[in-house]
Amino acid sequence: MQLTWPGGPLRGTAQLPASKSEANRALILQALAGGGTLSNLSDANDTQLMQCLLATAPGTTELSAEDAGTVMRFLTAYLAVTNWRGRLTGTARMQQRPIKVLVDALRQAGASINYLNNDGYPPLEIAGFTAAPETTAPTELSVRGDISSQYISALLMVGPRLPGGLRLTLTGHIGSRPYINMTVALMQRFAANYTAEGDVLTVRPGAYHPTDYTIESDWSAASYWYALVALAPAGSEITLPDLRRESLQGDQAIAGMMTQFGVETTFLTDGVHLRQVPLAPQTEIQTLDFTDCPDLAQTVAVVAAALARPVDMTGLESLRIKETDRIVALQTELAKFGGNLRDLGEGRFRAESTGFDVNNQSVATYHDHRMAMAFAPLAMRGPLTIESPSVVRKSYPQFWKELTKSGFAVSEAD
């Protein structure tokens, strides 16, 4: 797909998808509660897939989570505690993404789960759940806090279904804490009894209550509009509806991060307004920590390189095991424009550039929706081709349509 910006400031209103992070948690909780109405569910593939698999699970013995990490991890726990029996698989890339920490914890809680190919990786055979008889003590589990928060969220959400509940101890450094906070906040909306003492999280046994809930728009998707405003001509602004100041999403951090790239955020009663402001002189290289918001890393790295405003980035460890190795993918694609994501050692990377130029380059997307959308804003600086543009269906199917509405020329590349 070829993208071209005709010139002039960016203005208008852009529609965002609903948060798939909220939606996929709420769908699991709705299923465990046995009811409730969820509003503003996204048409993103991950959300549609979760809905489909939850609906069809009772009548089938084989399910595919495709390339959706939350679907694979949340369903593994859900299917185990609901005594489903069958095979849970995914794409070739999903079968390279580890799940051992979650499976080990579920086995300890009473789940029967076996690996069908490689130890520690999908596909899985799930063969029911055996709870200790007449137990009143909570299941005691301990997991590392620096693993994917999706493992921790999966365990917490099924906690009330364990006979004595769950006492989960997180050890070491805890990453992506906002996603854990989102999970427990949604659990409490569905009437879970949850308490925390330091890094010991306790969920008491009991039934979830059917609950009506409206999903917020997606802050991760909003990040690409922040990038567009940052890279657009002077005077650019955009309104993004249905975002909340009091958000459960950790990716709301993009509002603060983008101030150093010349984007001002004003919260409205029903969304946010973004406005480009003059860049202040950069006196020193700032460090941004993505431990709690790794999905913003690609967006920020591309903007920093394009504006020649270097930024040091930490907390990128989980990028290695996403849809692709996002660090390698960023390094490869930024180099085409004169940019770099330089490894400084000890978990620190510097996004930078020398002579950054956009002039008909073609960006590979590595089966990764965020690679496509993080690099698309570069079309503000020159014509650009995005390979395999359909990858955006995973989280923001209407992305190219929204770019067209905002004024981009979007056409099929030769």
Q: Which residues are annotated as a binding site for phosphoenolpyruvate?
A: 20, 69, 97, 150, 326, 370, 394
Going by C-alpha positions, the residue among 412, 409, 414, 356 that lies closest to residue 381 is 356
Q: Quote the distance between the C-alpha of residue 6 and its chain's center.
A: 31
Which residues participate in the annotated binding site?
Answer: 20-21, 25, 69, 97, 148-150, 176, 295, 322, 326, 370, 394
Residue 61 burial by Cβ neighbours in a 10 Å radius (0-12, 13-18, 19+): exposed
* Pair 80, 158: CB distance under 8 Å: yes
Our answer to whether residue 295 is catalytic in this structure is yes
CA Rg value for the chain: 22
Q: How far apart are the first and last CA of the chain?
A: 9
Going by the DSSP 8-state scheme, the letter that residue 391 receives in this structure is G
Q: What are the residues whose beta carbons fall under 8 Å from the beta carbon of 277, sequence distance 6 or more?
A: 262, 263, 264
Q: Which helix (H) or strand (E) holds 297?
A: helix 297-306
State the alpha helices, DSSP H only, in 190-266: 219-231, 254-257
- Select which of 67, 251, 295, 368 is catalytic: 295
Q: Quote the distance between the C-alpha of residue 403 and its chain's center.
A: 21
Which residues participate in the annotated binding site for 3-phosphoshikimate?
Answer: 20-21, 25, 148-150, 176, 295, 322
Q: Within the chain, how many helices (H) and strands (E) appear?
A: 12, 21
The CA distance from 46 to 397, in Å, is 11
* C-alpha distances in Å from residue 7, one per residue of 87, 232, 331, 376: 52, 9, 28, 16
ω into residue 6 within 30 of 0, thus cis? no
CA angle 103-105-109, nearest 5°? Answer: 110
Record the tokens describing residue 232, joined without a space.
């657009």
Record the tokens describing residue 188, joined without a space.
């409490």
The CA distance from 164 to 166, in Å, is 7
**Residue ranges with strand state E in 269-364:** 271-276, 286-289, 311-314, 339-345, 348-353, 361-363
* Pair 194, 187: CB distance under 8 Å: yes
The residue count of the chain comes to 414
Going by C-alpha positions, the residue among 116, 137, 136 that lies closest to residue 126 is 116
Record the tokens describing residue 177, joined without a space.
């804490």
- Residues with active-site annotation: 295
